[in-house]
Amino acid sequence: MLMCMRTVITLDDELHRRAKAYAARHGTTLAALVGDALRARLARKPATRRTPVVLPTFRGEGLAPGISLDDMKTIYDRMEGVR
């Protein structure tokens, strides 16, 4: 026999309304719907960790004269001159 634990969960009103309506349309109970959803979520494979992206760095003397990262207009003006 399957043992069941009684517990209390708090759902916002909209989610509760939608979940009850979904359960009714599919001929199940809210408790069964929540149980199915939890089982499905717990059965998912955990997300694999991606290897970190290594970005290249370059030696240099910083920004070109007249360029300020605090003023994007200087960058856009310089970009316009390159075209």
**What number is the average pLDDT over the span 40-55?**
88
**What number is the average pLDDT over the span 67-82?**
80
Helix %, strand %, coil % of the chain (to 5): 45, 0, 55
Q: Give the pLDDT score at 58.
A: 79
What is the pTM (predicted TM-score) of this model?
0.53
pLDDT digits (tens, 9 = 90+) for 11-46: 999 999 999 999 999 999 999 999 999 999 999 988
Contact 79, 71 (CB under 8 A): no
